[in-house]
Chain A
């Protein structure tokens, strides 16, 4: 359907465009620009920042400490995304091929946690994983069971169960992020699989391929854009995650967002925090650009 040219409909165009564009400019672009300018500044007083055009903040960001935190954040986010993909793909498949009357309910079941408050979900998971939580009790029961089995076959029983520390370490951060982001992954995967013509799968089976072979030669390549969307929608927020590493992580599981927060709330080094923020934003841009580059290539390849 042809789009309307703004020149021929100046009044409705102005009426429609001015509100959102003005808001976007005032309350998004202006604040972002200020942050950007601050990243080239330095503290000159308790609440005074001089924008001197210095690159010191960026230089400092390339120190090993910050680079390693950046690298670690990326690694954690990538691992979380991978786990979500592995868990989420079969779930998305199951929803896609579920009977008509179940499918919407399964989707709602996936979306409900996604709508539940992030903090509450994180807190709930922490409660389960505390040293007296059910996760530990479950592990303890398994340990007892193993110990009992050993005595049954005449061996020494295992030593008494001591609760393991499940929280406040890197494992907890990864688990927490997976818990929080899993619905993000399932939904785009589902919508990609749902668009897939089922007879393509049948054709592959018909031509002699097994289910796994069909999955890797037909389903995955064709659901590629959806998989990429799921990956991005999980990877980007995971990379910038603040709450989960803050609450569930230990002293060594700080991610980049926690470092940024510290510059503003505790270290009071706003210019450096601004520089780190923009480095994080640039990282997002690169990821998004990589994705759209990939998208363009598949598009031209198909044409």
Chain B
């Protein structure tokens, strides 16, 4: 009986490379995840708190969601953000795919210079890019006061500038795993240049395009600094709106609006997981 118990409850021994099964390692990972998630969880829980203060639980309520949805400037900001993100994503994916293919496929003069410049929007600090966009649009007298959604064009252009190099990077690294013999095989079987592109290259590129699109969408939705410099009074985006709310008066509406955005992020992640599988997502990074 004792033998049986030992058999039943004995956990397999920890082998030398089972680092993940060592207690301190698990504690470390757990603590890190707690550090990363606890603030977000508290924020989400307190968006349902029936109190102006963020510290004491007073009971469950939806009233701050109602307030957030009734706050037209907040809703407008959200709509602006999503619109910008949508347009920025579409253009970034096209430009990024072209740029990725360009660098993957061709040999041309000053290639390394082009590569370097292409990676600059990624390395240059956001603040510097924001400043540059501010000066640029002021200098060329970019029309302001246009009707919606044209008034968002300056912000959208700025977003595309820093989003599409990321897409190019993702697409290029995806294309690196492409076996060019597949392309030769297609041509050997009679496919034209265009048919080869459509039937062979594009399907291989697709996971890269999806990953790039998700990346561009989140980067655009996420951006505060560059938008802060390019937005005017009538082109407030969600992060800029939240910033001013946090800066000047903390209201529980921010919790509610933030929770919605977090849920949107989770939904996008889930969508990405569904499209590409957990492994695919992990590999694109």
Contacts and interface: CB of A to CB of B under 8 A. Distances in A.
Contacts of A187: 285
Interface in A72-107: 87-88, 90-91, 93-94, 96-99, 102-107
A31 B29 CA distance: 43
A21 interface: yes
Contact of B28 (A90, A120, A260, A264): A90
A123 B32 contact: no
29 contacts: A3-B105, A19-B94, A20-B164, A24-B118, A27-B158, A87-B32, A88-B32, A90-B25, A90-B29, A97-B18, A97-B20, A105-B278, A107-B285, A115-B268, A117-B239, A118-B224, A121-B39, A123-B246, A123-B254, A127-B39, A127-B43, A127-B250, A132-B54, A132-B55, A137-B55, A179-B36, A182-B35, A242-B127, A260-B131
A153 B133 CA distance: 65
Given A6-B107, A127-B54, A28 B117 contact: yes
Contact of A93 (B25, B37, B40, B262): B25
B125 A280 contact: yes
A228 interface: no
Contact of A247 (B118, B124, B246, B278): B246
Contacts of B222: 115, 117-119
B155 interface: no
Interface stretch (A9-17, A53-61, A141-149, A294-302): A9-17
Nearest to A260: B127
Nearest to B243: A119
Interface in B121-142: 121, 123-128, 131-136, 139
Contacts of A237: 125-126
B75 interface: no
Interface of A: 1, 3-6, 9, 12-13, 16-17, 19-21, 23-24, 27-32, 34-35, 38, 87-88, 90-91, 93-94, 96-99, 102-113, 115-121, 123-128, 130, 132-134, 137, 179, 182-183, 187, 191, 198, 201-202, 205, 211, 236-237, 239-240, 242-243, 247, 257, 260-261, 264, 270, 273-274, 277-278, 280-281, 284, 288
Given A34-B139, A119-B243, A21 B114 contact: yes
Contacts, number: 252
Q: Which 6 A-B pairs have the closest CB atoms?
A: A240-B125, A31-B136, A104-B278, A124-B39, A20-B99, A31-B132
A191 B284 CA distance: 11
Nearest to B125: A240
Interface string B241-285: 011001100100011001001100110110001000011011001
Place the interface of chain B in its size category.
35 or more
A288 B123 contact: yes
Contacts of A121: 39-40
B84 interface: no
B211 to A, nearest CB: 12
Nearest to B22: A94
Query: Which of A21, A27, A91, A284 has the most CB atoms of chain B within a 10 A radius of its CB?
Result: A27
Given A104-B281, A240-B127, 12 more contacts: A1-B180, A3-B106, A27-B157, A27-B158, A32-B120, A97-B20, A106-B29, A120-B262, A130-B55, A240-B125, A257-B127, A277-B132
Query: Which of A3, A112, A123 has the most CB atoms of chain B within a 10 A radius of its CB?
Result: A123
Contact of A182 (B32, B161, B262): B32
A103 B131 contact: no
Contacts of B79: none
